[in-house]
Amino acid sequence: MDRAKLHRIYRYTIDWLYPNVCPCCGKYIDHDADFCTECKNEITLYSGNDTVSGADGFAAYCVYDEHIKGSILAFKKERCGNSYYAFACGIAEAVSKSPFAGNIDIIVPIPSSKKSMKERGYNQTELIAKELRFLLGVPSCNILVKTKDTKVQKRLGMRERAENVSGAFALNVRTPEFPDKRLLVIDDVCTTGSTLSEAARVLKEAGAGKVYTAAFAKTEYKN
């Protein structure tokens, strides 16, 4: 049985044990749905042309606004049922419409610090990556680790954001080599792109062939 079919069975089983709900309003939805129809219609799709410094491409699914903000913030505090699958579906759609669609070898989630993992118990971006690997049909791997605790980015200006994440990532010593591989680095939200940019820098210095980036939501940043 192929992995995609196994994943569909998994989604159906999870829905039977823990009924699937919309990340925005909490309404019960089908086992393979991302949002309820009403909430999905209110999502503002991203149509910008932002770039991430040092990366070979960027894609985002939607605009970070008041409609989607609550579901993203809630997911940063607890697993919130369907959020990781819904956000993965959004990223998959964005990537499928990007210039680098079909040119990805490995999905790389932005890592959390040990402190955050201890407090929260999970890395929300890693959960998204685990779903995304089935949607895109490529493996995910925790190639990066976070080597220092950083300040909350939303409280910082553009230059401070870049300084905050500078040197924050390193290669996971357990990761196999990936010379010339095409990597997709993902995050839940992108504001200035500083986090994704620093991840791309580390991966390229380690020998990655291409480093593409993607986020579920993109903010309209004003310094």
Distance between CA atoms of residues 52 and 150, nearest Å: 20
CATH number of 3-218: 3.40.50
Residue 53 pLDDT exceeds 80: yes
Distance between CA atoms of residues 128 and 213, nearest Å: 14
**Among 99, 88, 101, 90, CA closest to 61:** 90
Distance between CA atoms of residues 188 and 73, nearest Å: 10
What pLDDT does residue 154 have? 56
What pLDDT does residue 106 have? 97
Residue 221 pLDDT exceeds 90: no
Q: Could you give phi then psi for residue 18, rounded to 5 degrees?
A: -130, 90
pTM for this model (two decimals): 0.91
Q: Where are the domains of the chain?
A: 3-218
Residue written as tokens 């994704």?
196
pLDDT band at 1 (very low <50, low <70, confident <90, very high): low
Q: Where is average pLDDT lowest: 68-72, 160-164, 179-183, 203-207?
A: 160-164
Q: What is the DSSP string of 123-148?
A: -HHHHHHHHHHHHHTS-B---EEE-S
